[in-house]
Amino acid sequence: MSTEKEYWTQRYQDKLTGWDTGAPTIPLKTYFDQLANKQVRILIPGAGNAYEAEYLFKQGFTNVTILDISPIPLEQFKNRNPSFPEEHLIEKDFFKHKGSYDIIIEQTFFCSLVPQKMNRVKYATKMSSLLAPEGKLVGLWFDFPLTEDLEKRPFGGTQEEYIGYLNLYFRIHTFERAYNSIPERADKELFGIFIKKHTKPKQANNPLHGKTLKAILEELIAKHGWEYMDDQVRINCFALNPTLNSSLKFLRKTPWAREKVEQLYLRSFSKS
């Protein structure tokens, strides 16, 4: 199995870069155009060819950092922008990066991570830890369903699911269907501005903390019954002769379904 670095580098070598828009996208450009402070510290993780960073740099923004796990797009960026500060081009795994930023820009990065709950939680946690107090996570998240095919990137998601991860660390300023997407992405992406919350989330407030899957299922069954659960999470083990054991067996090996069940649990038992 290849590492993430090898995987992405191979995609660039094979020119399998269907996500590459060749220019800054309109929603991000529109967002940048209303920023008054050109010294603001901006990070673009999983930046790829980073046309947005190039745009910012040309507009006079002095503190833009781009980060990618693969050296190829960073090299390409450097060739296009020889005067861009070298120290702001970082070849690194995002999850190992340290720093403090005022704004982090998301675009087709979240959707490139293998969609296990662990990765998505790590994403939200890391984004928050890299932001200064009141820092903002701004960008675009795809709005189409996650398929069962874990080989198929980009991985989709829903507004509700993204909020499920991000609201532990961020308050939502804006999160809605983008009105000015590039034509290929029209009606397929959400534009969001998330502001870092002051306090760290207390695990005690997270109803999933310390819960086994078995306990989660038992509580859901007791509260809702199988029929409602089948209505909310369309999987065969809830629909056909459902039992606790058969559901546990399926959910333990099917991360996307487990995640939906956990989301149902959060919806059912969260206090606010």
Ligand X SMILES: C[S@@+](CC[C@H](N)C(=O)[O-])C[C@H]1O[C@@H](n2cnc3c(N)ncnc32)[C@H](O)[C@@H]1O
105 versus 261: smaller Cβ distance to ligand X: 105
Work out how close the CB of 110 gets to ligand X at its nearest, in angstroms, rounded to a whole number: 9
Binding of residue 65 to ligand X (CB under 6 A): no
Sheet holding 189-196, edge to edge: 89-91, 64-68, 42-45, 101-107, 131-142, 189-196, 170-177
Alpha helices in 117-254 (DSSP H): 117-130, 159-166, 213-224, 226-232, 236-239, 244-252
188: DSSP letter:
S
Distance (Å, whole) CA 193 – CA 244: 40
233: DSSP letter:
S
Interface residue with ligand X among 61, 109, 170, 265 (CB under 6 A) is: 109
Interface residue with ligand X among 6, 93, 176, 227 (CB under 6 A) is: 93
76 versus 232: smaller Cβ distance to ligand X: 76
Work out how close the CB of 51 gets to ligand X at its nearest, in angstroms, rounded to a whole number: 7
Interface residue with ligand X among 43, 69, 261, 264 (CB under 6 A) is: 69
Distance (Å, whole) CA 232 – CA 210: 24
On the CB side of 238, CA atoms within 13 Å amount to 21
Work out how close the CB of 220 gets to ligand X at its nearest, in angstroms, rounded to a whole number: 33
Q: Which of residues 121-160 bind ligand X (CB under 6 A)?
A: none
Binding of residue 19 to ligand X (CB under 6 A): yes
Q: With CB under 6 A as the contact rule, which of the stretches 90-98, 114-122, 161-169, 234-242 interacts with ligand X?
A: 90-98
Distance (Å, whole) CA 106 – CA 177: 15
CB 213 within 8 A of CB 258: yes
Number of residues this chain uses to bind ligand X (CB under 6 A): 21
Binding of residue 112 to ligand X (CB under 6 A): yes
Q: What angle do CA 122, 168, 255 make, to 5 degrees?
A: 45
- Between 222 and 261, how does the x/- string for binding to ligand X read (CB under 6 A)? ----------------------------------------
Q: Which residue is nearest to ligand X (CB)?
A: 48
Could you tell me whether strands 131-142 and 101-107 are parallel, antiparallel, or unpaired per DSSP bridges? parallel
Work out how close the CB of 153 gets to ligand X at its nearest, in angstroms, rounded to a whole number: 7
Distance (Å, whole) CA 181 – CA 158: 17
9 versus 247: smaller Cβ distance to ligand X: 9
How many Cβ atoms from other residues are within 10 Å of residue 245's Cβ? 10
Work out how close the CB of 94 gets to ligand X at its nearest, in angstroms, rounded to a whole number: 3
Interface residue with ligand X among 46, 135, 157, 192 (CB under 6 A) is: 46
Binding of residue 107 to ligand X (CB under 6 A): yes
Residues near ligand X, by CB under 6 A = 4, 8, 19-20, 45-49, 67-70, 73, 93-95, 107-109, 112
